Every structure is written in C-alpha cells, then in structure tokens.
Structure 1
Amino acid sequence: MIATSQEGNVGGYSVAYGREDIYFPVYVTAALAAIFLTATWVTCALYWLALAVAAAGFTYYNIPLLETGRPTIGANQYGIFIQAFGLIRWRAVERIDLVQIAERAMTVHELQIALNAPIGSALVADWRKRPAYRLMMRLPWQMDHRGVVRVNLEPFDRTPDEIHRTFLRMWRYYRS
C-alpha cells in the first residue's frame, strides 16, 4: 500500500490543465470583478457589488483551470490518481472507456473509469476532503450512481486519445 497523503507526490504519468487562450475569460472576469468593486466603492451603488460578486464567483470557481503546472490526473504503479478524488487501485478498475459526448456545437471527450469495488475499498489514498478555501472550486471529476468516475478531458494538455491509450496500457500492465 502507498502511504502518501500529498496529491503532488504521486510520480508516474501525469496530465495537467493546458495553457490555452480558452481560459482567457477567467482573467477577464477577474478584471471585471475588480472594476465592478471599484465602481461600487466610487459610486456607493450596490448593484455594482452584485455584478462584482457574480464575476468574482465565476473566477473563483474556475481558478483550478489556471493551475497548469499541477498534476490533475495520472497513473503510477499503485493506480489512477485524480486531483481532489484520490488514488484508485488498479484491481478496483473494471474498465476504462473514452466516450465522445455531443454538446451543443462541439464534441466533448470524457474518460470513464468504472469501478468494481465500493469507493472505500477502491481508493488507496482518499483526497476527497479538501481545504475550506477550495470547497467551491471546480473539480476535474464527477461520479455517477453506477460507480463510474467521469473526467472531462478537454481542458488537459494532452490529447484525449493519448490519455486513454496510456491509462489502458498501464492498467493492463499493473493489474496482472
């Protein structure tokens, strides 16, 4: 078993959020929040404060997208790790699928990791308890009622096919 409690100390293959122009709105809304807050202070009108809070809330929720150097998902000899979720042991993984989902005018790629064990025994390290200041921030994962962990692969710095192929290769190697 692994005795790590730090998310950053996992080693192996890791993928971080990519640095692209798509995250430009996060910077824009941060600037808008500052402008609206200044307008509230100068004019003493509370409607500017409501706009400032909305813009600051959007920025706060999306801050993890700006953490491009921090490993978000990956795998090592112990299993698959997902930021703010934990380290899933290889034997608890039933299958790893790459699913294309049509959303409006685009296609989103999602990595679906089906578990064959309850979450308590599937996790080698549990990172679901987060610091208070990160509680309302974006998570890279979702879990459905069937025990499938879903990770949207669009914001990452590697292609969805490469991530899926690498996870599959490591899963086949380490589970045997």
Structure 2
Amino acid sequence: MSQDDMHGYTVAYEREEIQFPVYVVCLIGACLATIGFAIDNIILIALSLMAFGFAYYNFPLLETGKPRIGCGQYGIFAEGLGIVAWRSIKEIELKPIDIRGSTSNELRITLEDPLQKALLVDWRRRPFYRFLMRLPWTFSGNIIRIPVDVFDRPAEEIMQSFTRMMAFYKR
C-alpha cells in the first residue's frame, strides 16, 4: 500500500499564501547567485545557496492537492511516516502553541505502543532527493506532533474528523 492509495479523510497543504515565501526566497537566491557570479563574490554565492536550500526544504508546500495527512479505516496516516493503527493510538488532542505572541495549533497523537509496533505500513524510507525536504510531522517520545495551520482545512475540523473516525473504527 502506498501513499497514493489512501482513502478516507485527507488533508493537503493550503493553496493560497503558503507558497509565496518559497517563491520569493527562490527568486532572492537566483538574484544573489547571479550577482555573486557576476562580481565573483563568494559570500553572495554562499547566501544564494542558503536561500536555495530553504526553498528546497520547503518544496513540498508547493505541491498542493496531494494528501499529506489523513485517516481511514486502518488508522491515521502521514506523509513520510506511514499508517498508525487505531489500536495503537491512546489519545488525540489539539494544542494551541504560543510562539512570540502568535498562536498556532498542533495536533498531538499519543501512542500506546512504540512507533515500530504502531505502524501498519512504514513510509519512513524516502527517495534520496526527498530526504532533506519538509515532513508534515515530528516525533518525540511517544507523541506524533503535526502542525495543522499549514493545511487546507481548519484545525478544529481536522481534530473533529480524526476523533470521530477513531471513535468509529477503534471499537
């Protein structure tokens, strides 16, 4: 089973304003590289490589419409992670995170089992060219953290859909 075969409730990256910074940084990197090569300045070339690295890391934000996270009859799935079985999920909660006066939402999925045992399908092995690109989740301890404000659905809707499907399929 691959990520393209997932059905159920799926969420993709937002289509509107999230792409703009990636394009701007890529343009800045191109300008710095051009000027750096024209005047033979290694510092400008290094800065352009940093800008291109940022754009490369955030390239998945440009791939809108592709499911990044979701849930179905087998469990919760996330791009680059796999399918976490419903039986291995202890709790799902939506936490507001305050960062420098701005509030963002994070979906926290607490696991009962270790990650290796909780995964029905493991998608953590990625192609080499995608190894340094952004993933929609982080993992620490036994908690999967997913920042949900970058997706095309409101955080509350994602939380309600995940908990509703967990209540239905976990019985």
Task: Quote the Cα distance in structure 1 between the aligned partners of 2:132 and 2:18.
Answer: 21
Asked whether 1:105 is paired with 2:101, we answer yes
C-alpha contact 2:22 2:55 (8 A) present in aligned 1: yes
CA deviations 1:56-93 (Å, max 9, x no partner) are 01101111111111100001111100011110011011
Cross-structure match for 1:173: 168
TM-score of the superposition, structure 2-length normalised? 0.96
Q: Where does structure 1 differ by over 2 angstroms across 4 or more consecutive aligned residues?
A: none
Q: 1:107 Cα shift?
A: 0.7
Q: 2:158 aligns with which of 160, 163, 166?
A: 163
Q: 1:159 Cα shift?
A: 0.3
Aligned length: 171
Question: How much identity, in percent, do the aligned residues show?
Answer: 43
Q: 2:73 aligns with which of 51, 73, 77?
A: 77
Task: Quote the Cα distance in structure 2 between the aligned partners of 1:128 and 1:92.
Answer: 18
Q: 1:22 Cα shift?
A: 3.6
- In structure 1, runs of 5+ residues without a counterpart are none
C-alpha contact 2:28 2:51 (8 A) present in aligned 1: yes
Cross-structure match for 1:53: 49
C-alpha contact 2:97 2:105 (8 A) present in aligned 1: yes
Alignment RMSD = 1.0
Q: 1:41 Cα shift?
A: 2.5
Q: 1:15 aligns with which of 11, 18, 26?
A: 11
